[in-house]
Amino acid sequence: MHYLGEVLQNDILICSLISWAVAQGLKVPFMYLTDKKWNIKRFWGPGGMPSSHTALVVTLSIMIGSIHGFDTVEFAISSVFATVVMYDAAGVRRQTGTQASVINEIVNRIFIEGEKITEKDLKEIVGHTPIEVFAGVLVGIAVSLIYLMFF
């Protein structure tokens, strides 16, 4: 049971999870600004403004650098990991969403009067625009700095 206590005292992990939660929480009002309707499900959904994956990995890197040093192997590994995650969010996952949108449109046009292939459309919001990734970077930096100042 002492492992749980250790995990709960891990500032790097706690701050990273807080950063993820803040970014996910911001998706709800940002979605309202664009769609003019509240959708609490956006808290759990992928994609959108800001990138919670980016916020999490940026916070992870900043916290590792602040606690263990910016000249350490741990910081180098976390920085490379963060770069891969951000590239994936704005590249591969964004393209996946674009392809899903096209596939949904094709299926809807072909099967307007016929039987649908699937009852559910493919999820179209899975990746991020570069602006959404940048917003995730800002969230990650802000949460890290606030955490380091007050905790």
Q: What confidence tens digit (pLDDT) does each residue in 35-75 have? A: 888 888 878 887 789 999 999 999 999 999 999 999 999 99
| 142 sits in which H/E element | helix 130-150
What is the C-alpha to C-alpha distance for residues 14 and 18, in angstroms, rounded to an integer?
Answer: 6
Does the pLDDT value for residue 23 go beyond 90? yes
Beta strands in 5-144 (DSSP E): none
Q: Is the peptide bond before 50 cis (omega within 30 degrees of 0)?
A: yes
